[in-house]
A = this chain, B = another copy of it.
Amino acid sequence: MSYEIEDKIRDECGVFGIYMNYPATLSDPAKIAYYGIFALQHRGQESAGIAVSNGQYIKVYKDMGLVTEALHPETIETLQGHIAIGHVRYSTKDNSSLINAQPLALHYNKGMIALAHNGNLMHDGTLRQELADDGAVFHTTNDIEIIANLIARHSKNSIEEAIIKCLPIMGAGFALLVMTEDSLIGVRDPMGIRPLCLGQSNGDYMLASESAAFDTIGAKFIRDVKPGEIIIIDKDGCRGRQGIETGKKAHCIFEYIYFARPDSNIDGINVYQARKELGRQLARENKVDADLVISVPDSGTPSALGFAQEAGLPFEEGLMKNRYVGRTFIKPSQQLRELGVRLKLNPVREIVKDKKIVMVDDSIMRGTTSKQIVQMLREAGAAEIHMAVASPPTRYPCYYGIDTEKPEQLIANSMTEKEIEDFITADSLYYISKEGMIKSLQNDECNFCTACFSGNYPFKYENNKKP
């Protein structure tokens, strides 16, 4: 086990929690959490962990790798209790060590506590230093440890009050699960940037990053946790309480574009339908003379289907994906990403040969992958390749829990659309408009964070935050 403590960590993750009053067997909560985070595996493949409470103490197990690699049946059997929380995370650069895996289990003045979150803490540098100046020590470079210290310092009274006191300090951009020895608490940031929802099965309440996790384990989705809301689940049942007031919603629009599962519903919108509508809108905005539509699988497929339907063109699986590799977005180094394209995607020559093709993808980050795919298609004999992107140019970094590229690595940060078209060697390149994107997703209850496209950060980002 190697612990190297680095400057900073930022991660997209998945969380799942369950409180069972009367589990059939004491390993049931851990098992359900196992399947819960398995269903959220797309939100993080680097490490997986589960913590359980048996009412008296908390036990945690976590390891590097996929859920099925990190957590073995015999391990799950040892995690006995009536409450469980689980976590999956993905690696960012060189921070991928076990020490930073979650849940984090700790002793504090009221006993034991375990925490797991998706997102990141605003002003983490300042908060960390303030705590250190007050005598705190940190084992990790993970935000969750800062949150744990904040909560511990405000825990004179109940844990609920402690969390409420900490909320104004914690900024925006997180979904947090807190398990004490006898309760499960969920908190969503004041703007609802990161998703969190409440479910139920046989009278037992649970919390998850995405609703698809409930489907997988046969539970019912109840509702999304409201921005700034605290959900407390204990022996008396489940109750919500507005932990902090907030005037403005800012749901992360990238969850709909890329991150979430298509079979999840987030804040009232089904992700698959959202992606399909983005594709339709893209087709409405851009008329392309083509023979067929293909997608960059898997995330581009719903938009490609929408595009094809709107444009009246046939959809084909023109690129075959090797199912045994992860997502482009996740693999860390530049070199591996380029190698990855060859390993991951292969054109079906018989489909693309001599054809004018519209290729739909969800987004473009660095552009290098798109370039390689265009070239592979051309080598396979495609006559024309028109790339259609179901999101606007990604120009700005995310500070709310998604580890996008540094600005200078985002191709749209330094190139015009025309230059990108040339770079990726496509015959033409189409992005959906910002307005078209919002129109595709809009419903009356939602406002979105579109900072990665617009640079308008809904929550103030201060200078001391980033190196």
Residue positions of A touching B, CB distance < 8 A: 1-5, 35, 38-39, 41-42, 45, 57-63, 66-68, 75, 78, 98, 104-109, 112-113, 128-129, 132-139, 141, 145, 148-149, 152-153, 155, 212, 215-218, 261-263, 265, 270, 272-273, 298, 301-302, 305, 309, 314-317, 320, 322-324, 342-343, 346-351
For A59, what are the chain B residues with a Cβ–Cβ distance below 8 Å? Answer: 2-5
Given contacts A57-B5, A315-B315, A322-B38, contact A138 B106 (CB under 8 A): yes
How many Å from the CB of A11 to the closest CB on chain B? 18
Residue of B nearest to A351 (CB): B272
A324 engages B41 (CB within 8 Å):
yes
Contact B105 A132 (CB under 8 A): no
CA distance A152 to B133 in the complex (A): 9
**Contacts A305-B315, A320-B263; A216 near B2 (Cβ below 8 A):** no
How many angstroms between the C-alpha atoms of A132 and B106 in the bound complex?
11
The answer to whether A5 and B216 touch across the interface, beta carbons within 8 angstroms, is: no
Most chain B beta-carbon contacts within 10 A, residue among A2, A98, A135, A215: A135
A273/B350 in contact, CB under 8 A: yes
CB-based nearest B residue for A105: B3
- A320 to B272, Cβ gap below 8 A? yes
Residues of B near A149 (CB, < 8 A) are 135, 137
Of B5, B113, B129, B349, the residue contacting A105 (CB under 8 A) is B5
Known contacts A129-B109, A351-B273; A61/B262 CB under 8 A: no
Known: A317-B302, A324-B68. A136 touches B136 (CB 8 A): yes
Q: Are B342 and A218 in contact (CB under 8 A)?
A: yes
Contacts of A139 in B (CB 8 A): 104-107, 139
